[in-house]
Structure 1
């Protein structure tokens, strides 16, 4: 669906994400991230875009008459033009996937981790990418993960300042 939308007022290096909401059927939403542009397609769908190098959480949920059929959260770092990337449904061109978790109990743990970071007064989009990878690996094997701390965040900000 997002294939031809780069020509509609979108910068060629932005990452586009198609969001859908149909009550009790489909919900594709952004949990955190800095949206730089938005295009409404209709009542149920819109396209949002992110600048290169930004991080966002993409939550997907779908159900049918028998119950939930998918619960998933992906945390993605957007890439610039020409950078290699991993593909992801509803995301064009793709991105660097920092976390990919499915199954409602595990998705709930990720959402709680996001809430805990925000409770510290830190925008989850600014958290260290390594923390999202750590959570991904630990939850994938049903192990506890380290809680993000203000000290870890300060270290990440300092490291980001000195590395290219």
Structure 2
């Protein structure tokens, strides 16, 4: 037998091995690409749900939710998807008094005038002659507002909390 006849099938076998290796590389690249695309899609849905939850919280806190806090469902349209966001009953964590020397109070602001008495008593002075701050009619309340989204189409579940500080001059049970 000649060396040429011994090698005649080797080219075919090497070609088949190379074809199998290239096929495996292509299949792996396609699977990796589709997995990455799925990950990006899931991330996009989660970010969109977070934005919807934040928008629902903002809708709730832009109302006077402190007088009668109730749970509610807020519908948020995010373009292609509309989310139903369950906003839990806002929880008042604490109430602290606002004193007359608080820098956030402005005696010339109409909203802040509600905090002060119309005919205040003369100030009480300390040993140095400085007025001692007195409690005003206003209080500062800290609230926690929670929004939950569960989207059955994508399976995403998002819970978001927002802390809110509100000034009130009305009596409160918080």
Q: TM-score, normalised by structure 1?
A: 0.18
Q: Whose helix proportion is higher, 1 or 2?
A: 2
Higher RCO (Cα < 8 Å, 6 or more apart): 2
Q: Work out which of the two has the higher radius of gyration on C-alpha atoms and give 1 or 2.
A: 2
Answer 1 or 2: which has greater strand percent: 1
TM-score with structure 2 length normalisation? 0.17
